[in-house]
Amino acid sequence: MSYCLNPDCNNPNNAPTATACQTCGATLLLRDRYRSSRILGRGGFATTFLAVDEGLPGLPTCVIKQLRPVLNAAHILEMSRELFQREAATLGKIGNHPQLPRLLDYFELGQDFYLIQEYVSGATLQQEVRRSGPFDEPMTKEVLREVLPILDYLHQQQVIHRDIKPANIIRRSIDRKLVLIDFGAVKDQVSQAAANNPDHTTLTAFAVGTPGFAPPEQMAMRPVYASDVYSLGITCIYLLTGKSPKDLNYNQATGELEWQNRVQISPRFQRLLEKMLEVSLRDRYQNAREVSQALDELQAAANAPAAPPPPSPSGTSTYAPQRPTQRSTTAGSGLGGRTSQPSAARAGAQDPMAGSFSKIAPRKSVSRAPSAGATDQTGSGGRKSVIKLSPQGLQQAYGQGKRDFSGHDLSNLSLSRFQLPSAIFHEAQLQNSDLRGADLNGANLGKASLVNANLRHTNLQDAYLSYADLEGADLRGADLSSAYLSNANLRGANLCGANLTGATLNLSQLSLAHINWMTILPNGKRGRGLW
């Protein structure tokens, strides 16, 4: 579909190959190469669209950011132009970081300004919390450990993000790394320039970041590096509670957010978050590097060995070393691939794409015994080999926060319409299972056996299916958009009516599958033709 970029258009949907909007007549191919397909987000000053670059081979996906001044006065347009060019220069400078989207192009058309940026496929932290519930302390610490170096890089480049929040942190599907998006440099600086002009108060209504996540000095249009520290602290509170700042109470005497009674975290971590959230700039961490240092000290204190008990009054020590206990082979699992299970580590040794799933701390410690509804199948000597789960056992384990089912036997199960986004089924056995209409968005199915599985109308968007065996699988009507299918076996798979937009696979793989004119190919076109 081609989506019209004219904000005044009453019916922006058009045919995929149309050149002009059927409703308003606006051109649909921006700068003769960028074709928008849908809106990703809309704010007071900018709208972002998902698009493809028809000027490059393979039609890569990108993001169009349309910046439109709310007032048409000449001095406002001139100010917007200057700040737009400044933001483009900033984005071009910082885009070399692997966890920040790259700036691909920028230009002005009429009175609108456009930025073309790299598209980051994945779920935001806000979406993860809404799907699977609040994070625990280890998971929240991992977010801090990954985002703080990005912030430190920005601050070293003399850039303040100004709009850090869960909706602006994406877990990239292909490698599970966190990416920071949506820089508000232009709109914040527009606000500062117009703040003293009472005739232009419209500009300031949305231009100081997100209320609740922005600290007082930023709301007063005087942001500093510590402002990003505050916003990241509020983001941690959202991850731990699942509550937006507007849904929490504030201390009327101090202006501080009251959140401590809603979380279960260690006293040391609570003090770290409280210092990130100090209303007074003087008492807050001044930059990301200070927070990273405090987090390292917290971890070092937690890992410090406990002192042995004092000697008995008789002078002989009452301390005696205990016989070492046998370690279980299975650890707890967490949200969206956060796991320390040996099975995931072994998978990572064979498959570099899967290895990243084993590097993130577990969500919560769970029982070392098999999940409810699970059968622990053992080999000779009692060594664990395969865990067989029932549908009820799988649903119960997932509902309790377990996400890693690597190597499990889930064959011949009825899992129709199960909600399992971001679950890990690396090397799992799912042959002949009924997964019709299931939600496997962002799931890791690398090297899984899905032979003859029923995946009709299943949501496999952004799923990782590298080296998966899909021979004979029924994928009619399945959503495989942006799925990673490199080296997957598609021999005899039925892809009639499936959506493969943006999927990663080659022509030789597709030639082994059944497709028809309703199949949407990776380039977004329908039919049986090559792309």
Positions marked active-site: 163
**Distance from C-alpha of 391 to C-alpha of 7, rounded to nearest angstrom:** 47
**Distance from C-alpha of 437 to C-alpha of 478, rounded to nearest angstrom:** 8
Bridge partners (DSSP) listed for residue 506: none
Residue with tokens 């501080």: 256
- Which of helix, strand or coil describes residue 386? strand
Q: Is the CB of residue 239 less than 8 Å from the CB of residue 140?
A: yes
Closest CA to 213 of 189, 237, 181: 237
Question: Over the range 92-126, which residues count as b (16 or more CB within 10 Å of their CB) and which as e?
Answer: eebeebebbbbbbbbeeeeebbbbbbbbbbbbbbb
| Element housing 354 (H / E) | helix 352-355
**Alpha helical stretches, state H, 157-287:** 185-194, 216-219, 225-241, 267-276
CB-CB neighbours of 349 under 10 Å: 10
Both tokens assigned to 248: 């929490």
What is the CA angle 449-455-456, rounded to 5? 160
Residue with tokens 């737009």: 84
Q: Is the CB of residue 377 less than 8 Å from the CB of residue 409?
A: yes
Q: Is the CB of residue 178 less than 8 Å from the CB of residue 146?
A: yes
- Which residues lie closer than 8 Å to 400 by C-beta, 6 or more apart? 366, 371
- Which of helix, strand or coil describes residue 451? coil
**Distance from C-alpha of 498 to C-alpha of 514, rounded to nearest angstrom:** 10
Closest CA to 494 of 477, 508, 514: 514
- Go through the chain and tell me how many residues it has: 531
**Distance from C-alpha of 260 to C-alpha of 232, rounded to nearest angstrom:** 16
**Distance from C-alpha of 269 to C-alpha of 297, rounded to nearest angstrom:** 11
Q: Is the CB of residue 64 less than 8 Å from the CB of residue 36?
A: yes
Q: Is the CB of residue 494 less than 8 Å from the CB of residue 474?
A: yes
